[in-house]
A and B are shown apart, each in its own frame.
Chain A
């Protein structure tokens, strides 16, 4: 069975500092990997996704993530955090389901990011 682990439940960084959120996955085949962000009271918004090709993926809002197969990781990074980045971040693995009839996303537990002024 696939699983996704986000080891850090909470992270606090100062505004302007760099950020790295960790994500480790367990999946037998080539994974489809996603990062979503959830602001308070809102649904999830896709930041970026990786399917194949270049292992460094650029997303919206200045985020990027790097797929490292040898480490089963897909860490999210941002060089300079803004106060508006405070939110909860979810890593997810997608896989075909029910003979390709469905698309199942397995989510990690999330990392809550707080930004200090």
Chain B
């Protein structure tokens, strides 16, 4: 699905760096999501935005800070990360945040924290 794009595709950062992940959806959707996919754990939901409002933070540490300036863009600001935060970060969007709405995923950003 090419309707959801993510940049960068790969990111290497030190524990003291600050970086941001960007997600853009071209589908006219109103809900956007951040997921974390680690090697050893199932895909985990991090944040949900519905009509630009954050509707839930799934117990994510404060070193991850999301931002949703409009319905088409979603950012994940990273600071003071730990090596265990290395993972594939996936963005998704859906028409609304309704339970039956299909979520469309981007290709992900592969993050490595040194």
Contact = CB atoms under 8 A, between A and B. Distances in A.
Interface residues of A, number: 29
A103 B90 contact: no
B90 A102 contact: no
Q: On chain B, which size bracket covers the interface?
A: 20 to 34
A46 interface: yes
Interface in B83-114: 90, 92, 94, 97-108
A105 B45 contact: yes
Nearest to B98: A103
A104 B35 CA distance: 11
Contacts of A41: 107
Contact of A94 (B4, B48, B56, B99): B99
Nearest to B43: A107
A34 B31 CA distance: 18
Nearest to A6: B42
Interface in B46-77: 48, 50, 55-56
Contacts of A83: none
A43 B90 contact: yes
Nearest to B31: A103
B100 A43 contact: no
Contacts of B94: 103
B86 to A, nearest CB: 16
B56 A32 contact: no
A96 B105 CA distance: 19
